Amino acid sequence: MSNHQPKILVTGAAGHLGSLVVAELVRSLGYPVEQIIAASRNPDQLVEWAKLGVETRKADFTDVAGLAEAFRGVDRLLLISTDSPVNELRLGQHLHAVEAAKLAGVQSIVYTSMPKAEDSAVSFASVHLGTENAIKASGLTYTILRNGWYFENLAVTIPGAVSSGTLYSAAGDGGISYLSRQDLAKAAAAALVAGSEFENETLTLTGETALSYPAIAAKVSEAVGKPISVVQVPVGAIIEGAKSHGLPEVVATMIASFDAATAAGDLSVVTSDYERLTGKKPTPFGVWLEANKQLFTA
């Protein structure tokens, strides 16, 4: 690849997904480092990339003028959704980024959204839909990646179930078509270098199967050698349980909404978009679990 390649900026490059995307661009795709910008609200966390020749910039999503400066000279922007638990703040940050991209002359945006953003029961679906709509209204070309849930999310809920022997769920037999964070990083990097092939497309990135909590519990139980029983409870019990562990109401409600969405089938869609974009099949849960079972026994 020559340095006539488009200049790419990855937001959230110090985060879990963003750092993996930069690694995919540099190490797996061999994209020229001088054409990559890693951006973060904490650019001092990007020194490892700077040592490799990747330019680093500060990107603060609360500051439109500063963001427009950060996005200057960029052709393609990966807008990774921020992590504010307050929907209005989060949507505001995303809208700032879209506005700044226009001001800076960015040509195209790749955005990490979520499945069924129009009508999902997930509490922050409206943030993603509002961002998608703003990107479409901006006049910039775009690729929207509706990212399925990470396998890694299970490392939040399952370890407690492994130690107690019980997984409380309000998801019923609903499934989630999980895939690994690494696979979603591969997909984002592929979208950034894809040229016009996926221009103005919305892709829903999923695993090849939707897994229910009872199925996950059985697989984890077998992998770690400890029995886990799944006990179905109402959504309100999930909220109260999360609050009893010290989580604020807004976060407890968000966590419970995942179970409500799962029960409603909002996260069970399975597509071949991941393979279309990357040319590869997503990592199956069994393979990922074997490599990561220590997450559930720590």
Chain segment 150-192, per-residue pLDDT in tens? 999 999 889 999 999 999 999 999 999 999 999 999 999 999 9
38 lies in a domain? yes
State mean pLDDT over 120-144: 98
Look at residue 62 and tell me if it is in a domain: yes
Instruction: Convert 116-160 into a string of H (helix), E (strand) and C (coil).
Output: CCCCCCCCCHHHHHHHHHHHHHCCCEEEEEEECCEHHHHHHHHHH
The number of C-alpha atoms within 13 Å of 115 and in the hemisphere containing its C-beta is 24
CATH code of the domain covering residue 61:
3.40.50.720
Residue 34 lies in a domain: yes
**Cβ 12 vs Cβ 45: under 8 Å:** no
Any domain includes 70: yes
Are 31 and 3 within 8 A, CB to CB?
Answer: no
93 contacts: CB under 8 Å, gap ≥ 6:
61, 62, 82, 84
Q: Are 39 and 67 in contact (CB under 8 A)?
A: no
Q: Please report whether residue 118 resides in a domain.
A: yes
- Name the residue range of residue 275's domain: 8-148+180-205+270-280
Residue 77 lies in a domain: yes
261 is a domain residue: no
pTM comes to: 0.96
CA distance 188 to 12: 13
Separation CA 183–CA 206 (nearest Å): 10
**Any domain includes 102:** yes
- pLDDT digits over 219-261, tens only? 999 999 999 999 999 999 999 999 999 999 999 999 999 999 9
Domain count, the chain: 1
Q: Are 151 and 285 in contact (CB under 8 A)?
A: yes
